[in-house]
Amino acid sequence: MKIIGLAGWSGAGKTTLLSKLIPHLIGAGVSVSTIKHAHHNFDVDIPGKDSWQHRQAGATEVLVASGKRWALMRELRGEAEWSLADLLGKLTPVDLVIVEGFRRAGLPKIEVHRAENGKPYLWPDDRDIVGIAGNGPAAPGAPPCVGLDAIGAIADMMLAAAQPIDIVQARLAQQRE
């Protein structure tokens, strides 16, 4: 299992890019899972449904299952936020895990940059950025840069830069110390 991250300012198009990359990678025979970090309170459940009521009643974990999918929700209830290393340990093995968010985590990342956002590049301050998917001119010294619509080239860049999970987890453990 290999890991690669996507980093970029809000509005850069990370989720839009992922929605194009995932089917491309799967079509090339690569199994893919994703981890998305949210900086705000979010809910994957619908208020009033049974599983929502179970969580509201105080259940630590609620697993919802059907013939088509299952989802496990865990309420932290004051517990510290789980680290990326802990979350990676919860995934079933696949060829490639794409992490959206966790910008400060020590893993190789592709920066998604949209010039019209008026935001600076992240790469000069983030040594883990190994490539850029963008629509603006690349600055001198920038990592390899491809256009936002070059899905095949971005996928190739991700696969080439992805690192094995054990290497990433070791780096993440060092960051904790």
Which helix (H) or strand (E) segment holds residue 89: the answer is none
DSSP string, 52-65: HHHHHTT-SEEEEE
Query: What pLDDT is stored for residue 41 in this prediction?
Result: 67
- Would you tell me how many other CB atoms lie within 10 Å of the CB of residue 49? 11
Q: Give the pLDDT confidence of 41-88 residue by residue, as tens digits.
A: 667 778 888 888 888 888 888 888 888 888 888 888 888 888 888 888
Q: Give the pLDDT confidence of 85-98 residue by residue, as tens digits.
A: 888 888 899 999 99
Domain boundaries, the chain: 2-42+80-176
Of 15, 14, 7, 10, the C-alpha closest to 102 is: 7
Tell me the CA distances in angstroms from 156 to 28, 80, 81, 98, 168, one per residue in order: 11, 36, 32, 13, 19
pTM of the model: 0.88
Which helix (H) or strand (E) segment holds residue 51: the answer is helix 50-56
Query: What pLDDT is stored for residue 42 in this prediction?
Result: 66
Q: What is the CATH number of domain 2-42+80-176?
A: 3.40.50.300
Q: Give the pLDDT confidence of 127-173 residue by residue, as tens digits.
A: 999 999 999 887 789 999 999 999 999 999 999 999 999 998 888 88
Query: What pLDDT is stored for residue 84 in this prediction?
Result: 86
